[in-house]
Amino acid sequence: MENRMRKRMTVILNSKMNMRRFYVSAALLLTTLLAVAENNPYRSDVFWVTVPDHADWLYKTGEQANVEVQFYKYGIPGDSIAINFEIGGEMMPADTKGTVIMRKGKATIPVGTMKKPGFRDCRLTTTVDGKKYSHHVKVGFSPEKLRPYTTMPADFQQFWENEKAELAKFPLTYTKEHVKKYSTDQIDCYLIKLQVNQRGQSIYGYLFYPKKEGKYPVVLCPPGAGIKTIKEPLRHKYYAEQGCIRFEIEIHGLNPEMSEEEFKEISAAFNGRENGYLSNGLDSRDNYYMKRVYLACVRSIDLLTSLPEWDGKNVIVQGGSQGGALALVTAGLDQRVTACVANHPALSDMAGYKAGRAGGYPHFFRNTVDMDTPEKIRTMAYYDVVNFAQLIRADTYMTWGFNDDVCPPTTSYIVYNVLNCPKEALITPINEHWTSSDTEYGHLDKETSEIKAVEKEKPPKAEITVIISLFRHGLQNFYGSVLIETILICVSRA
């Protein structure tokens, strides 16, 4: 079945149809995918189903939303089971509480409405046979009208132009060491140590090449949040196998060849609640930790575009969570980027809590103290994704889910809404903060020989295609294929 689905996806992508027809065809695959779905949560004795009375989980402000809740244990509908619910704005305290009784495994909960654009979160709990189970579902109200609380400082662009100019004064300096254990008969892997400033600070990354001689697109993949090693470097080897040069980086200057235990010790010492790197130096735009990180991404593009194997045209940035944020930041900072793929980006409208709604990861106003100062709010604006997003000119593809509490859909919508470039979005409402197995382990369906350096067609208008995914495991193959294939769409339209 998996091979049939992948062949079907290849046919769709090779047919030169526009993006609207592609997503319609993809939606038709949902029936096949659901046939192989497993319980949600995965391999749990219980199974929650939450069905908003609008199929796309979206309402206009002022409309009343209702959610049908179903609860099964061992596949048997629950009867006379009490379901407790708390409902409130996303990431906000509950304003409504109550209890409903399951009848033949079902009950309906009135979620209410919102006067302003945003999301309401219905949080559910029940106790069955002495064990407590929980679930939640979010529905949106006119989210296409969400706008950022964060505003762009008047000297935002000048500040970053000055920083890039300083970076450019420092020559490209790196070491390159072949890594045999991550090389195969098709690809070569190199450990790169890339110096990012005159103070000798560096980042590390694994650079994967196709062994076959040729000219290739380059892909920069920044990491998710945390101080950690580069996980399973070969999990994305399909990029190089299918004709891309891929640079997967860490951002702290820590050699990924260190042991996992060493990384844990460093993280425990230097990334706690009181001294995390995302709040390090937040009182000053010049001293904030992430300045070096953002500029390291630009220097990574310097490296990739200096490679003689680069095709001279295609520069792609792709990541999720913090990596999605850094992909968008890089696309905003560097006009050499031709395509950006961002999955539920962090660092987006971080001060949004001051507007009385959800703000972006790392949730400074929820998880840390003493954040609400003029100095910190000012610095956040210089590093907030929403301000970089407005500068992006590259084709941009975003994905996010509604049930994500790490990078809330409010902030993903806000980023998408301020983009002024050709853009597409794949929305999978049921998703929380996870990435599909196909994104992690799948392979590209199109051969490297099909990647052509042609003039990109611009879609006539931005459109959001909503794919309703009802089962996590069943949708993973589809979701990952779409994310990976969209990377190639921007460089293979012919």
User: What is the set of active-site residues?
Assistant: 321, 404, 433
CA 470 to chain centre: 20
Give the number of other CB atoms < 10 A from CB of residue 341.
Answer: 27
Give the number of other CB atoms < 10 A from CB of residue 117.
Answer: 20
DSSP for 152-220, please give it: --TTHHHHHHHHHHHHHHSPP-EEEEE-GGG--SSEEEEEEEEE-STT--EEEEEEEEESS-S-EEEEE
Q: Is the four-CA dihedral 390, 278, 340, 352 of positive or negative sign?
A: negative
Cα–Cα distance for residue pair 274/440, rounded to 1 Å: 32
- Enumerate the H helices of 2-133 as residue ranges: 2-14, 19-28, 30-34
Token digits of residue 132: 């407590």
Helix, strand or coil for residue 18? Answer: coil
Cis ω for the linkage preceding 223 (within 30 of 0) = no
Token digits of residue 77: 């509908």
Pairing status of strand 245-249 against strand 202-210? antiparallel
User: Residue 140 in contact with residue 119, Cβ under 8 Å?
Assistant: yes
CA distances to 226, 264, 266 from 272, rounded to whole Å, are: 10, 11, 10
User: Residue 159 in contact with residue 153, Cβ under 8 Å?
Assistant: yes
